Amino acid sequence: MIRLSKFFAIAGFAFSIEAALALDASQPQEPPIREELDCIKAAAPIQYGGVSFDRIDPATAIGFCEKALALSDSAAIKAFYARALEKEGRTSRARLLTGQAAKENDPTALVAQAHYLSIDGSSDGTEKAIDLLAEVIEQSNDWQARNLSANLHIQASQAGKVNSDKLLTALAHLKKAGDEGSPYALFLLGWLNENGVGYEKNMDEAECFYREAVAKGNIAALAFLGLQLEAKGTAGEEAADLIWQAFKLKNDFAVDLLRNKGSERSPVTMAFVKKQLAEAGFLKTASGTSFDKATKTALMKANGETIPMAQAPLTSTRTKAKPTQKRKPTQTKSKNKKKKKKPSREGR
């Protein structure tokens, strides 16, 4: 069974655009200004009119949200800005802004706080996170809260730390989010059906959920659906294409499948990937039936990784002989010119 925790990201969730425009429903709001809309589209969860966490472009999103915050002190904008900072790895700043927005009960910020609690490593961190998410779910129809709650209940269940009733409640929340169109919920429902967690193992149902998640832009679902189709052996090129798409989008699972476990891929997948690399200029040939050193190096280059010199294959640029430098003409000594004698050391 593939462990789910490796593939969980803080947000793959989302609300309607109408809810996104009403940043705080507790008070009358003026229509959001252009800078706020730019921040929402670039950094908010899908449910609020934005994007999934794995598709955030930090440089663009941070710039938009900083402009918005210069004009507005909205808790939602702070939470969206924190989300972009988290994607860039600026966790300390992200946590500070998340805390400020959470004090105003912004749901995105509260879910982020629950995420931080769950990964802090304290013994009761997960329990506190689950309790906080339950409050958010009770007060709002937030997909993020439902998805993260289900994820934490599943992990606790696998570790034998949660009863079946609580798990079933969490899965019911997850199903509701999936029915309403949450891409991450659809992906997670596919994983649950594939692995028989909370549901009877059903590969056909898993494929249906994965396909729905792919249609809604979930990157992880690309890799998982590709792997499932590859195992079936009936849709080889489609499977290879899905895994390749996930790889190009930097999905960790797809990167691992191709770069580190190329020898375990089907011949169809390997031939397809080599063809893509060749067309992108990474390989001169797509022949062969396994991922050799040159192909793995090309995969690393395609993923934007630094190639260690020891691993890089010999290329024309590395084997090209350096141009020979012209030597200065040596002066020939005249035959008639006598060599200077060194002073005699005798008598010293």
Q: pLDDT tens digits, residue range 235-251?
A: 889 999 999 999 999 99
Distance separating alpha carbons of residues 45 and 233, to the nearest angstrom: 36
Instruction: Please report the pLDDT score of residue 287 as a whole number.
Output: 67
| Average pLDDT rounded to a whole number, residues 35-59 | 93
- Whether 92 shows a pLDDT value over 70: the answer reads yes
Neighbours of 228 (CB within 10 A): 18
- Whether 224 shows a pLDDT value over 90: the answer reads yes
Domain membership flag for residue 197: no
The answer to whether 299 and 277 have CB atoms below 8 angstroms apart is yes
Which candidate, 184, 213, 245, 150, places its Cα nearest to that of 45? 184
Neighbours of 139 (CB within 10 A): 12
- Whether 345 shows a pLDDT value over 50: the answer reads no
pTM of the entire predicted model: 0.76
What angle in degrees, to the nearest 10, is found between the helix axes of 293-302 and 236-248? 50
Which candidate, 194, 264, 250, places its Cα nearest to that of 222? 250
Q: Name which residue leads in pLDDT, 5 or 306.
A: 306
Angle at 3 between CA 107 and CA 166, to 5 degrees: 50
Distance separating alpha carbons of residues 61 and 81, to the nearest angstrom: 7
Domain membership flag for residue 188: no
Instruction: Please report the pLDDT score of residue 324 as a whole number.
Output: 52
Instruction: Please report the pLDDT score of residue 328 as a whole number.
Output: 56
Which candidate, 264, 262, 323, 272, places its Cα nearest to that of 293? 262
- Whether 3 shows a pLDDT value over 50: the answer reads no
State both tokens at 68. 């918005």
Instruction: Please report the pLDDT score of residue 104 as a whole number.
Output: 94
Determine the residue type at 319.
T
Cα 154 vs. chain centroid, distance in angstroms?
21
Which candidate, 184, 212, 186, places its Cα nearest to that of 55? 184
**Helix (H/G/I), strand (E/B), else coil: 214:** helix
Residues 230-239: b if buried by 16+ CB within 10 A, e if exposed: beeeebbeeb
Distance separating alpha carbons of residues 225 and 248, to the nearest angstrom: 16
Give 175: exposed, middle or buried? Use CB within 10 Å, 0-12, 13-18, 19+. middle
Instruction: Please report the pLDDT score of residue 218 as a whole number.
Output: 94
- Whether 10 shows a pLDDT value over 50: the answer reads no
Whole-angstrom Cα Rg for the chain? 29
Instruction: Please report the pLDDT score of residue 198 as a whole number.
Output: 86
Cα 80 vs. chain centroid, distance in angstroms?
18
Instruction: Please report the pLDDT score of residue 165 as a whole number.
Output: 84
Q: Name which residue leads in pLDDT, 283 or 162.
A: 283
Measure Cα distances from 258 to 244, 271, 273 in Å: 8, 12, 9
Q: Name which residue leads in pLDDT, 310 or 99.
A: 99
> Structural domain tally of the chain?
1
Domain membership flag for residue 211: no
| Average pLDDT rounded to a whole number, residues 272-289 | 83
Mapping DSSP onto H, E and C, the string for 255-278 reads HHHHHHCHHHCCHHHHHHHHHHHH
Instruction: Please report the pLDDT score of residue 17 as a whole number.
Output: 31
Instruction: Please report the pLDDT score of residue 319 as a whole number.
Output: 42
| Average pLDDT rounded to a whole number, residues 294-315 | 78
Domain membership flag for residue 301: yes
Domain membership flag for residue 86: no
Mean of pLDDT over the chain:
82
Instruction: Please report the pLDDT score of residue 320 as a whole number.
Output: 47
The answer to whether 278 and 332 have CB atoms below 8 angstroms apart is no
According to the per-residue pLDDT averaged within each range, which of 191-200, 218-227, 301-310 is highest?
Answer: 218-227
According to the per-residue pLDDT averaged within each range, which of 28-32, 252-256, 317-321 is highest?
Answer: 252-256
Boundaries of domain holding 268: 223-309
Q: Name which residue leads in pLDDT, 327 or 273.
A: 273
Each residue of 163-217: pLDDT tens digit? 788 888 999 999 999 999 999 999 999 999 999 988 899 999 999 999 999 999 9
Domain membership flag for residue 281: yes
